[in-house]
Structure 1
Amino acid sequence: MCGIHVDVRRSAGTGALRSFLHHCLCNRGPDHFGQVTAPLNAPGSEDDDAFLTFTSTVLSLRGDHVTKQPFQDRQTGSVLCWNGEAWKIDGRAIQGNDGEAVFALLSDASSSGTGSSNTILEALRSIEGPFAFVYFDAPSKTLYFGRDRLGRRSLLICHDDTEGSLVISSVAETCDDKWKEVEADGVYSVALHAGLFSSPYAPPSRHEWLPETGAEFVSLPVVTVDVTSLIGIFNTALPTGNAVLLSSSPAVSALRDQLTASLSLRVLNIPEPPVNGSTSNTRVAVLFSGGLDCTVLARLSHDLLPPDQAVDLLNVAFENPRVAAQLHKQAKGAPVDVYEACPDRITGRKAYAELRSVCPGRVFRFVAVNVPYTETCAHRARIISLIHPHNTEMDLSIACALYFAARGQGSCHEDTDPDVSTAVYTTPARVLLSGLGADELFGGYVRHPSAFERAGYPGLIDELKLDVGRLGKRNLGRDDRAMAHWGKEVRFPFLDERLVKWAIETPAWEKCDFDNAEEISGVEAGKRVLRLVARELGMEQVAREKKRAIQFGSRTAKMESGRVKGTMLIS
């Protein structure tokens, strides 16, 4: 995880980072701070009217050394600010540092492109992984920027004609309406011509992620209404006959294989975290509610990780004063633990017990992250600034849970690992696993059976397409900004491009079997394919766990009033 900030201004010396932004960028990338500043044109030329400042901070998670950013080609002056992970280029796994590999790819494309943008765009389209980037191609004086096809990393843009500035950043400098989230629908470019700020502002040009030819996972027709996230074509076929999803169905073993491949990229070969006072050998932590999605990730991680590596399970619970008052009233003077009464704490401890039973020998460390109401209030303004331009009560309640969970600080008492048993424990893991994407891909929300009841499989398919298509706009940039603030990188195994492609090209009834009752397969219809995977992994209890939204499971929603609606703007 890294921080990106690129500033293009009319005047030199006016692009200094504000203290809040400097703090946020360094929190995202605590291992290195780098900056490159240059005039757009040669000094003294008539066109010397813009200055570029590139800032990168680095959280080092790839390769055997800290790779400094921004990357700069000393011969051409081209610069790259890179945030995220490039797992593969042209279908081939990257060995060593991915940022260096991407910069070499773009430099070669620039030098061989003879001024054309096509070679640079083709190079960018060949990258698989979650990322955001800004690349200045000095020979053509063009700024390229964007987010991956699913929008798994944050990138914001702000244009200000009055100041004469164009800013692209991982985090907004201010909470005003000039900041917009860069859409994850293509690569954007701006020609940094003479008089950039003196003429009417022209919006950046958008270039489709879809190539005419390219890697297997994006080889698609350019025009089709069923392309989802520019990765695959959604399967809209309807079942014929009596199609039933069972443990023996091919989709169940296929999903397990897809998840294993995705997790292998995300949990193996993580560098040992810097010494932080902990003696634990923990490199991976799971955002852990005890629900189906996150517990399957923890269970499969056990099959992949070396036996001496512990896995931290970060379970967050909040003191909600409105709910706490009700609990104390019901207890009639008896002691009440408001944190242990949280729904996600209850399911979390149950799933933790099942993991320990199914995976003997693995240290799963349950970290109880308890957040008093006073602490929620103390951090509220910061969280609002981080998630901007998202600004609803639902955004805030979800971000609060993710923000404190990612901090990874809580109580931990382990009989299996007494050396780290402590009342205050902070996970040393800098990689977090999230189950986000499973509900959208496999029909896990309440609205999915409702859509099926209204319009059968056609209605369900339309709802699934809508959910997958808006992940980058609704969730991922906001969540990235909230969690990366603690120097952590959140990884989404369910949102691997190849897994997403497989999922959307698989018929709906092979994912969520609403045509057949629970008694036939033993698990409910929503996310049935994933529930059957959990059962095959020995997680019988988890396979039957109901879906619960994080803001209600951790009790961040409706803290002051039960009448607050999620769509209301933050006051």
Structure 2
Amino acid sequence: MCGIHAVIELIRRDGSGCTASNNTQNEITITDTLRRRLCSRGPDHLGHAAAEYTPSHTRHRAALQFTSTVLALRGDGLTPQPFSDSASNNILCWNGEAWKLNAADVSGNDGRQLFDLLSSADGDDVLQVLRSIDGPFAFVYYDQPAGRLYYGRDRLGRRSLLQQQRKDGRLSLSSVSDVEAGAAGAASEPWTEVEADGIYVLNLEADGPLKAQRHDWSTEHAGNPLMVSGLGLFNMSSVPPEGSRIAADSPSVRQLHDQLAESLRLRVKSIPRPPSPISTEGDTRVAVLFSGGLDCTVLARMSHDLVPADQGIDLINVAFENPRVASHLPPGVTDVYEACPDRVTGRRSCAELQHVCPARRWRFVAVNVPYTENLEHRPEIVALMHPHNTEMDLSITSALYFAARATATMPARVLLSGLGADELFGGYGRHGVAYKAKGGYAGLADELRLDVSRLGQRNLGRDDRVFSHWGREVRFPFLDEELVRWAIALPAWDKCDFAHDSNTEEEVEPAKRVLRLVALSLGMAGVAQEKKRAIQFGARTAKMESGRVKGTALVS
């Protein structure tokens, strides 16, 4: 995981400049705020590169600056960035994890291997190399011989990439913005998120303002509304076979287990030790963002089967002092943190993990956030989540921010998140409503398709900016390309089972039933019954001062 930044500006060939900076020497210039935030994301290395491209038929030359910071998690040691090649003068800023290239596992440093493939590619072959990546990423790639600059985010939008088009024509691309804490709403030239809908290409040979052309992630099924993130067509089947019902021995239960196990294998195996160990509490390289709910506890339980036996697994559980709630605690309850819903379910699910997997060194990390401390960090959180700016954004990202902050003094640099399970397998309350109010499985399938198709457009970039600020990388096993491709090809009744709305001791509730049955197969009977609860309510970050504030209200 890294922080990346690039600036592209056009300058008159006579050196008089057509931009405000008139940076004829192409010096590396980034603000102190931006440098600090990039280094927070990648504390192990800071590197720069610069280039200049002189088109053959235009009045301007292009000046390009590149900055990368590195959090070393791949290969045998630290691999500096930006990647560059003295023969071709190509440059790559890479923020991601290429788990596979051309469907083959990647061992060693993925960024170096990707750069070698890109440097040996010409024309459309560059697009094909980029389309062959499985994993979360954002990138900026300068192809000097072709006079092109490629940039974008992976098809599910799991890494952040922002853009800022200034009035003077200069284009900036960055993992984070340079908006000052406390001034996010006053930015005169705001940043926007690069959409995760394709690969963007700037032709530096073209005359006129910088304008990128977008290329789809997939050339198949072009224009088909059922195509999801270039991965495949969503299964809209609406009439289940006679007697269809998800059971413990259903094929989809075993298939989900196997898909998730493979996704976790890529994400938890071979994580290197941190360059400078900061703890003497044993070897722990993986932590789980842990509310005690179904999704995260299944990840923890299945990670136990993959992580070496001598390594620990940390369970990060966040609770906030919410003054509005604290003033109405029930009689006899004195600890506002232990009364948080996520703290209650977290401790209960941790106990179940310890019972089912007693040989593992589980550590429950209770992160308590006082109200005053939350207020102190609020301006920085608002600046990091920019350009998102609603009260709901703030309540969600506050929990993520303090969870990641807690791990800054712990050895684990990789955090696992259960995000994506609700969208894929029908875990939200609106999915049951859609089944009942919109014509059964036809309405449910349409709601699920909408949720999955919006994954790359919603909050993953925001969450990446907040998590990574503390030099930690979050990984989303449910959002593995192969797992998503398999899940969208399944009919809705093989994922959730609202046609049989029962919740007895023998049968788990219909929402995400396929995942609940996986939990049962792993010996986690209690977790299989846990209900969905939004993080802002479980950790009590929502409605701190007033219960009347709407989540859609802008942050003041």
Q: State whether TM-score is above 0.5.
A: yes
Q: Pick from 516, 538, 558: which aligns with 2:523?
A: 538
Once residues 188 and 434 of structure 1 are traced to their aligned partners in structure 2, the CA distance between those partners, rounded to angstroms, is 28
Q: Return the letter of the residue paired with 1:428.
A: P
* Cα distance, 1:494 vs structure 2: 0.2
Task: Name 1:488's counterpart in structure 2.
Answer: 472
Query: Are 1:128 and 1:497, in contact at CA under 8 Å, matched by a contact in 2?
Result: yes
* Cα distance, 1:75 vs structure 2: 1.2
**Between 510-519 and 537-546, the greater mean CA deviation after superposition:** 510-519
Q: Return the letter of the residue paired with 2:415.
A: L
Q: Pick from 31, 47, 72: which aligns with 1:60?
A: 72
* Cα distance, 1:428 vs structure 2: 1.1
Task: Name 1:294's counterpart in structure 2.
Answer: 296
1:227 aligns with 2:227: yes
Q: Return the letter of the residue paired with 2:469.
A: H
Spell out structure 1 runs of 4+ moving beyond 6 A: none
Structure 1 residues 182 and 193 mapped into 2: Cα distance closer, same or farther (>3 Å)? same
1:98 aligns with 2:110: yes
* Cα distance, 1:471 vs structure 2: 1.4
Task: Name 2:325's counterpart in structure 1.
Answer: 323
* Cα distance, 1:400 vs structure 2: 0.3
Task: Name 1:86's counterpart in structure 2.
Answer: 98
Task: Show the 5 A alignment for 1:502-517.
Answer: 502-517=486-501
Once residues 347 and 141 of structure 2 are traced to their aligned partners in structure 1, the CA distance between those partners, rounded to angstroms, is 46
Deviations 1:220-270 (A, max 9, x none): 433422111211111111213121110010100000000000000000000
Task: Show the 5 A alignment for 1:370-381.
Answer: 370-381=368-379
Q: Return the letter of the residue paired with 1:518.
A: S
Once residues 468 and 281 of structure 1 are traced to their aligned partners in structure 2, the CA distance between those partners, rounded to angstroms, is 36
Structure 1 residues 126 and 301 mapped into 2: Cα distance closer, same or farther (>3 Å)? same
**Between 261-270 and 460-469, the greater mean CA deviation after superposition:** 460-469
Structure 1 residues 72 and 445 mapped into 2: Cα distance closer, same or farther (>3 Å)? same
Task: Name 2:257's counterpart in structure 1.
Answer: 256
Task: Name 2:543's counterpart in structure 1.
Answer: 558
* Cα distance, 1:408 vs structure 2: 2.4
1:191 aligns with 2:199: no
Q: Return the letter of the residue paired with 2:225.
A: V
Task: Show the 5 A alignment for 1:127-276.
Answer: 127-162=133-168, 164-174=169-179, 175=184, 176=187, 178-193=190-205, 199=208, 201=209, 203-211=211-219, 220-238=220-238, 239-273=240-274, 274-276=276-278
1:17 aligns with 2:25: no
Task: Show the 5 A alignment for 1:106-121.
Answer: 106-109=118-121, 113=122, 116=123, 118-121=124-127
Task: Name 2:46's counterpart in structure 1.
Answer: 33
1:69 aligns with 2:81: yes
Query: Are 1:41 and 1:47, in contact at CA under 8 Å, matched by a contact in 2?
Result: no
Once residues 191 and 378 of structure 2 are traced to their aligned partners in structure 1, the CA distance between those partners, rounded to angstroms, is 20
* Cα distance, 1:140 vs structure 2: 1.6
Once residues 511 and 358 of structure 2 are traced to their aligned partners in structure 1, the CA distance between those partners, rounded to angstroms, is 30
Q: Pick from 431, 434, 443: which aligns with 2:414?
A: 431
Q: Return the letter of the residue paired with 1:326.
A: H
1:384 aligns with 2:382: yes
Q: Pick from 404, 408, 413: which aligns with 1:406?
A: 404
Q: Return the letter of the residue paired with 2:411.
A: P
Task: Name 2:442's counterpart in structure 1.
Answer: 458
* Identical positions, percent: 58
Once residues 448 and 180 of structure 1 are traced to their aligned partners in structure 2, the CA distance between those partners, rounded to angstroms, is 30
Task: Show the 5 A alignment for 1:436-455.
Answer: 436-455=419-438
Query: Structure 1: where are the runs of 5+ without partners?
Result: 212-219, 410-424
Equivalenced residue count is 532
Query: Are 1:264 and 1:304, in contact at CA under 8 Å, matched by a contact in 2?
Result: yes
Please state whether the residue corresponding to 1:326 is helix, strand or coil.
coil
* Cα distance, 1:280 vs structure 2: 1.8
Query: Are 2:414 and 2:472, in contact at CA under 8 Å, matched by a contact in 1?
Result: yes
Deviations 1:188-228 (A, max 9, x none): 01112375xxx3x45411001004xxxxxxxx433422111
Q: Return the letter of the residue paired with 1:27.
A: S
Query: Are 2:283 and 2:311, in contact at CA under 8 Å, matched by a contact in 1?
Result: yes
* Cα distance, 1:135 vs structure 2: 0.3
Once residues 233 and 534 of structure 2 are traced to their aligned partners in structure 1, the CA distance between those partners, rounded to angstroms, is 28
Structure 1 residues 15 and 161 mapped into 2: Cα distance closer, same or farther (>3 Å)? farther
Please state whether the residue corresponding to 1:357 is helix, strand or coil.
helix
* Cα distance, 1:47 vs structure 2: 5.0
* Cα distance, 1:41 vs structure 2: 2.8
Once residues 470 and 397 of structure 2 are traced to their aligned partners in structure 1, the CA distance between those partners, rounded to angstroms, is 13
* Cα distance, 1:278 vs structure 2: 2.9
* Cα distance, 1:45 vs structure 2: 11
Query: Are 2:91 and 2:141, in contact at CA under 8 Å, matched by a contact in 1?
Result: yes
Normalising by structure 1, report the TM-score.
0.90
Once residues 288 and 231 of structure 1 are traced to their aligned partners in structure 2, the CA distance between those partners, rounded to angstroms, is 29
Once residues 172 and 210 of structure 2 are traced to their aligned partners in structure 1, the CA distance between those partners, rounded to angstroms, is 15
Query: Are 2:317 and 2:365, in contact at CA under 8 Å, matched by a contact in 1?
Result: yes
Query: Are 2:279 and 2:410, in contact at CA under 8 Å, matched by a contact in 1?
Result: no
Query: Are 2:4 and 2:38, in contact at CA under 8 Å, matched by a contact in 1?
Result: yes
Once residues 540 and 532 of structure 1 are traced to their aligned partners in structure 2, the CA distance between those partners, rounded to angstroms, is 9
Query: Are 1:40 and 1:48, in contact at CA under 8 Å, matched by a contact in 2?
Result: no
1:6 aligns with 2:12: no
* Cα distance, 1:276 vs structure 2: 1.0
Deviations 1:145-173 (A, max 9, x none): 011110100001111133x3100000012
Query: Are 1:294 and 1:435, in contact at CA under 8 Å, matched by a contact in 2?
Result: yes
Normalising by structure 2, report the TM-score.
0.93
Once residues 350 and 277 of structure 1 are traced to their aligned partners in structure 2, the CA distance between those partners, rounded to angstroms, is 27
Task: Name 1:568's counterpart in structure 2.
Answer: 553
**Between 95-104 and 32-41, the greater mean CA deviation after superposition:** 32-41
* Cα distance, 1:326 vs structure 2: 1.2
Please state whether the residue corresponding to 1:540 is helix, strand or coil.
coil
Once residues 125 and 62 of structure 2 are traced to their aligned partners in structure 1, the CA distance between those partners, rounded to angstroms, is 26
Q: Pick from 313, 316, 326: which aligns with 2:315?
A: 313
Task: Name 1:478's counterpart in structure 2.
Answer: 462
* Alignment RMSD: 1.7
Please state whether the residue corresponding to 1:426 is helix, strand or coil.
coil
Deviations 1:371-413 (A, max 9, x none): 011111111111111111111111111000001111225xxxx
Once residues 15 and 374 of structure 1 are traced to their aligned partners in structure 2, the CA distance between those partners, rounded to angstroms, is 38
Query: Are 1:312 and 1:427, in contact at CA under 8 Å, matched by a contact in 2?
Result: no
Structure 1 residues 243 and 46 mapped into 2: Cα distance closer, same or farther (>3 Å)? closer
Once residues 47 and 307 of structure 1 are traced to their aligned partners in structure 2, the CA distance between those partners, rounded to angstroms, is 63
